[in-house]
Homo-oligomer: A and B are copies of this chain.
Amino acid sequence: MGIADIVEQALEMAEPSEEEKRLVSEASRRALSLSEELFRGTPGFRSVSLEGSAAKDTWIRGRAEIDVFIHFSPDTPRALLEESIVSAGSRVISGLGGESRLRYAEHPYVEGVVGGLIINVVGCYDAERGKWLSPVDRTPHHTRYVNAKLSAEQRGEVRLLKSFMAGVGVYGAEIQVEGFSGYLAELLIISHGGFLTLLEAARGWRPPIYIDIERQLERRAAAVLFPNSPLIVIDPIDAHRNVASAVSATRLSEFILASQMFLREPSLRFFHGYQRPSVGEVRAEGRELLLVAFRVEGYVPPDVLWGEIKRSARGIRRGLEGWGFRVYRHAAYEEDGYVAMIYELESLVLPETTLHIGPPVWLSNAYSFVKKHAESSDTVAGPWVRGERLYALKRRETREAAVALEAGIAAGRLSISRELLEPIRRGRIISGWSGVLEEMSRSEGARSFLRSFLSGRPPFLP
């Protein structure tokens, strides 16, 4: 199959059916009118609007969400707005026949599932550009901008791109993924015209990449504003915001690599919804695996929890590396408050000896290095001189990764996020592939995570 056929088929896979479109449009209408009704009379209330991919006709098949925005006047106190959203928002969801859940990251909103569709009720201010009062105030502006810029055909291109991003594992701006948001995908189609023209550009990207559709900022000014971003996409409705700030270097690089691979060997396996043959050949035997498993009690917003998990997992990695272990890779898994951090090491047990590198002989502390190591009982050989420098061969105190980690956690010597310290202390350290295999057979999600960790390949590689 040529690339045109692949893209055509992928577009068909991503395009919602007429039935799905009808359902979304109907559910949106009902959600908006019920919201209008239930919020009317609330202090500060002004209007309701549909936002997100449903409002832009850019969602991919089966992944519609209906984002109902409740607009308040800018003088409404924040606490009042939030209270109204929690109380009236819940009534909207139950009025539609769903069960509501309070969600928040920086800003609370109410979520519910009605007839298989996720409905979010979000409160925003009718803020002027640049006078944002809450983090979601830009959203209605984004919707207007995208709707004004995208042709009907380009909405299909957005679906293609989102499907591609989901298929190659880079879709989602949440901290767990550190990838591309839906709005970012839309802007990339606007800036590059279409799916294939974007991929043709992306195959040659060398980060940092700078995209400024409305030419609002000098490239050099942007580099100063966003110094550590591998991808900078200036928000057309706010020049001081990088729409791609969530995108990590790894995710961007995976997108670049996936673009290269797809253009060379186009295949449907790059797209969301493609049924991959199960990864059968992944082997755990003989792999040097270490697992830290623990439980987090109570609801923690996913972005908060994942921020803590990622920070702590990196802290543990640095600790292991500091003790001399070579860590090849690590990843984390979360399921209903159960967290597993997995590490693949060069070896779970370090050699018996370790080389201490001392000062050059002409430094004043050379003498004390010699005295210390000549007299201590854990010196295996030396101290000796090579070139200008002193060395000593020492017997290692702790050779096993699990033992070192246990002690490091107990002593609080690791850079673990404060909120996870106690859960991790109460948790377990599992050393060796067979124990890890057993632990991760606890659920289909855990098994699948372990399989993908062991294979170590992004999903778009065969």
Which residues of A does B touch, CB under 8 Å? 204-207, 230, 249-250, 253-254, 256-257, 260-261, 264, 283, 286-288, 326, 328-329, 344, 346-347, 351-355, 360-362, 366-367, 370, 374, 380-391, 393, 454-458, 461-462
CB contacts (< 8 Å) of A206 on chain B: these are 360, 362
In the complex the two chains form, is B380's CB within 8 Å of A253's CB?
no
CB distance from A42 to the nearest CB of B (A): 48
CB of A461 within 8 A of CB of B387, answer: no
**A-B contacts, 30 listed (Cβ < 8 Å):** A204-B362, A206-B360, A206-B362, A230-B388, A250-B385, A250-B386, A253-B361, A253-B388, A257-B366, A257-B370, A257-B390, A260-B361, A260-B366, A283-B380, A286-B352, A287-B353, A288-B351, A329-B393, A344-B381, A344-B393, A346-B354, A370-B461, A374-B457, A374-B461, A381-B455, A382-B457, A383-B456, A383-B461, A384-B456, A384-B457
Question: For residue A388, which residues in chain B have a CB less than 8 angstroms away from its CB?
Answer: 207, 230, 249, 253
Chain B residues near A360 (CB, 8 Å)?
Answer: 206, 253
In angstroms, Cα B264 to Cα A355, docked, is: 27
- The verdict on A254 contacting B457 (CB below 8 Å), with A328-B355, A462-B374 known, is no
Which residue of B283, B367, B391 contacts A260 across the interface (Cβ within 8 Å)?
B367
Cβ-defined contact, A257 with B393, below 8 A: no
Query: Do B381 and A456 touch across chains, with their CB atoms under 8 A apart?
Result: yes
Decide: A382 and B253 in contact? CB cutoff 8 A: no
Chain B residues with CB below 8 A from A204, complex form: 362
Q: Which chain B positions have C-beta within 8 A of A385?
A: 250, 253-254, 257, 458
CB-CB under 8 A for A387 and B347, given A286-B352, A367-B261, A381-B454: no
B362:A205 contact, CB within 8 angstroms: yes
